[in-house]
Amino acid sequence: MYSSEDYKDIEAKIFAGERLTREDGLRLLACRDIAWLGSMADYVRKKKCGDIVYYNVNCHVNLTNICTSKCKFCAFGKDKDAPGAYAMSVEEAVAKVQEAMQDPNLAGLHVVSGLHTDWTFEDYLERLQALHDAFPHLYLKGFTGVEITHFAKISGLTVEEVLLKLKAAGLQAIAGGGAEILSDRVRERLCPNKATAEEWLNVSRTAHRLGIKTNASMLYGHIETMEERIDHLLKLRDLQDETGGIQTFICFPFLPKNTELGEMVEQTSMWDDLRMIAISRLMLDNIRNIKAYWVMLTVPVAQVALGFGANDMDGTIHKETILHDAGATSPTALSEDRIIRIIREAGRIPASCDCNFNIIRMFTEKDQQAQVAQAAQQ
């Protein structure tokens, strides 16, 4: 296996299973030997996770795009009276999922929204409860650390009380968005009207104590420094050491189109994106799953990312809107057959799972042969 002499010490650490340091992470961000970096991440992925690649058959439900945050990197949020602003009624939210139920394998919902100027916490809770009541067989993953912090502030409840009410209404796992960069310097410049870094971390910490699994993300490629990228990963690693409740990590490359930063920031390259996937796998040694989020990366890059440490393809999505408003050029949904094909082409084993990574169906080579034989008999 080829690697630059400059990284022999890091390579030795990786093969020995030793934890990488902040300095190691910064050096890896400067690495231009992308093939070596990918091979290191893939080695760790195979050792930790094997060849299974997870995906969800899911539907995204974005209850409203009306939002008080006015984040400079966001193209989804709108003022209440702006063209295109919407807020789903209970009936509209249920109808959206009913439409998605045309897929007989639909297994779950991903519910995230804007911070509506007028809605109370009860408005969000009512919609979540209605979805759970109408579709009790679907798992519910939803709301981010930012939304949950907002719910606590507008309701006067503690974060723990909010989480307990959400759990009672059917929520099974918390979405990973809203972490952006866990640096208050960055957040004060780009999103000063929403949860601080510590508030976001506190939601996850509290959820883990209550037995609710969470996910974590990073939005990179805007005004953050390389040091802030690594520090973000280390904060998540420290939290995971403390609680063990983070299920998967998602890298979001910033899509500048249609945002306030659109004329100031160039979109990251494929190499930048693959580098971040690989470094995330290497630095986050205590988080089992690394997601290649095809909506942001595009399908071809997400498929390549399966060779750079990723073992999670997210899901079928069914009409994602938040990131497409920011200029994502990927499809708004993928069929399950296509996701299975993408994973198999990468030499991996597709596994449909729920929001807590419990396997629903697995598609091994033996399964594929059985399906082919069954089709031939019909």
Rounded CA-CA distance 100/342 in Å is 22
Residues in the chain: 378
Q: How many CA atoms lie within 13 A of 19 on its CB side?
A: 11
Span of 67-71, 91-95, 354-358 with lowest mean pLDDT: 67-71
Give me the pLDDT at residue 320, please: 44
Three-state DSSP at 54 gives: strand
Q: What is the mean pLDDT of residues 283-295?
A: 96
Q: What is the pLDDT of residues 194-217, one digit of tens each?
A: 999 999 999 999 999 999 999 999
Q: What is the pLDDT of residues 82-134, one digit of tens each?
A: 999 999 999 999 999 999 999 999 999 999 999 999 999 999 999 999 999 99
**140 against 323, higher pLDDT:** 140
DSSP 346: T
Q: What is the mean pLDDT of residues 34-61?
A: 96
* Residues whose CB is less than 8 angstroms from the CB of residue 270 and which lie 6 or more positions away in sequence, other chains included: 301, 304
Cβ atoms of 271 and 34 closer than 8 Å: yes
CA-closest candidate to residue 120, choices 151, 157, 89:
151
Compute φ and ψ for 176, nearest 5 degrees: -95, -5
Average pLDDT, the chain: 91
pTM over 0.85: yes
As given in the structure block, the two tokens for residue 303 are 């498929």
As given in the structure block, the two tokens for residue 119 are 């809605």
- Residue 174's DSSP bridge partners are 214
Q: Answer yes or no: is pLDDT of 155 > 70.
A: yes
Give me the pLDDT at residue 143, please: 97
Rounded CA-CA distance 186/184 in Å is 5
Rounded CA-CA distance 339/328 in Å is 18
Rounded CA-CA distance 376/230 in Å is 52
CA-closest candidate to residue 179, choices 114, 109, 235:
235
Q: What is the mean pLDDT of residues 325-335?
A: 58
Cβ atoms of 347 and 355 closer than 8 Å: no
